[in-house]
């Protein structure tokens, strides 16, 4: 299944991408939230589909919202691609590097990307997102983690590098600005993804390719990350994990390049759709 959400900010509704068409499922479900996942919601959607249920079309003009509502947590993994670590001139991590960004950074895949006031170093990062499908704590193995993943999506982990690296060592400052995590356009349930560790990824700015990579160069794979993080905290259904970015970020260029008002960012991951944001000064 490809779960979507649509509607104006604050009034989003749950839906489904079915044969390329957006369908409105708000008559059956409140939202794709923690209660939905923990309550076996994906199985209920499957039952409706197998039973031949029909759903209203979503108006073409309706905004594409983030594929899940505001998560309880947005957990991010730093330096998780071997080629990106080399680009950054840093050693391969021995354990996943974890940081968080504010949950209200999550916006729709085509929403405006706001350049923060005073920013000169807003950077792009295409990432594979994992949405937790069931509360997880102290998982026993990476293999067990497969049963706790609700799906995968495109996650744009936008960063302000000066805020992140030059303002007291607090990564949260550079990661939590408004609109800094466009998400979607859809959440693909695991059965939709043949091999999540072999997905091509790309990002362009103003039509110029900046990032090209593949999830196969991840240092810590998706199942291991879910298992690993569950040793430190309860992963709640609906939480988002952004799993790292391949090479080609603005910070790593010589000289570095950063986003400005008017720039257009386009990014995609194989099988998970594409995003497009126009930058605007906050």
Residue 89 has pLDDT above 80, yes or no: no
In degrees to the nearest 10, what's the CA dihedral of 250, 180, 154, 23? -150
Beta-carbon count within 10 A of 272 CB:
26
Report pLDDT for 3.
Answer: 98
Exposure b/e, 184-209, CB count within 10 A at least 16 = b: bbbbbbbeebeebeebebbbbbeeee
pLDDT of 82 reads: 86
Q: pLDDT category, 213, cuts 50, 70, 90?
A: very high
Largest CA distance in the chain: 57
Q: How far is CA 60 from CA 1, 7, 57, 215, in A?
A: 20, 11, 8, 32
Beta bridge partners of 76: 99, 242
What average pLDDT does this structure show over 167-173? 84
pLDDT for residue 86 is more than 80: no
**For position 168, what pLDDT does the model report?**
84
Query: What is the structure's pLDDT at 156?
Result: 98
Q: Residue 100: pLDDT band by 50, 70, 90 thresholds?
A: very high
DSSP E strands, 91-249: 97-101, 106-107, 113-115, 122-123, 126-132, 149-156, 159-160, 181-182, 187-188, 200-205, 208-214, 240-242
User: How far, in Å, CA of 225 to CA of 216, rounded?
Assistant: 14
Confidence of residue 266 (pLDDT cuts 50, 70, 90): very high
Answer whether residue 91 shows pLDDT above 90: no
- Residue pair 215/140 in contact by the 8 Å Cβ criterion: no
Whole-number pLDDT of residue 87: 73
Which run of H or E residues covers position 279? strand 273-281
Q: Which residue has the tokens 């354990």?
A: 95
User: What is the model's pTM?
Assistant: 0.97
Q: Looking at residue 250, what is its pLDDT?
A: 96
Q: Where along the chain do its domains lie?
A: 2-50, 74-281
Q: How confident is the model at residue 90 (pLDDT cuts 50, 70, 90)?
A: confident
CATH 3.90.850.10, applies to 74-281: yes
Region 54-79 average pLDDT: 97
Q: What is the pLDDT of residue 143?
A: 98
Mean pLDDT for 117-133 is: 97
Q: Residue 170's pLDDT is what?
A: 74
Strands 181-182 and 106-107: parallel
Token output for 245: 């970015």
Mean pLDDT of the chain: 96
**Cα-trace Rg, the chain:** 18
């Amino acid at each position: 299944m490809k779960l979507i959400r649509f509607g104006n900010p604050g009034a989003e509704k749950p839906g489904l991408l079915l044969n390329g068409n957006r369908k409105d499922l708000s008559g059956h479900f409140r939202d794709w939230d923690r209660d939905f996942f923990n309550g076996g919601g994906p199985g209920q959607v499957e039952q409706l589909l197998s039973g031949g249920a029909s759903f209203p079309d979503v108006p073409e003009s309706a905004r594409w919202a983030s594929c899940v509502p505001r998560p309880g947590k947005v957990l991010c993994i730093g330096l998780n691609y071997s080629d990106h670590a080399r680009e950054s001139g840093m050693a391969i991590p021995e354990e996943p590097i974890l940081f968080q960004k504010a949950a209200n950074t999550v916006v729709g895949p085509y929403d405006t990307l706001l350049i923060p006031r005073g920013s000169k170093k807003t950077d792009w990062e295409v990432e594979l997102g994992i949405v937790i499908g069931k509360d997880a704590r102290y998982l026993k193995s990476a293999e067990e983690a497969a049963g706790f993943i609700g799906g995968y999506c495109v996650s744009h982990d936008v960063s302000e590098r000066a805020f992140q690296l030059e303002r007291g060592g607090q990564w949260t400052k550079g990661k939590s600005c408004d609109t800094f995590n466009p998400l979607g356009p859809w959440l693909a349930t695991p059965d939709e993804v043949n091999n999540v560790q072999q997905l091509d990824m790309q990002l362009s700015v103003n039509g110029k390719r900046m990032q090209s990579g593949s999830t196969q160069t991840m240092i810590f794979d998706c199942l291991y990350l879910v298992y690993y993080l569950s040793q430190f905290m309860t992963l709640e259904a609906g939480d988002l994990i952004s799993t790292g970015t391949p090479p080609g970020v603005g910070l790593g260029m010589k000289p570095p390049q950063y986003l400005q008002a008017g720039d257009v960012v386009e990014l995609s991951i194989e099988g998970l759709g594409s995003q497009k944001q126009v930058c605007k000064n906050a």
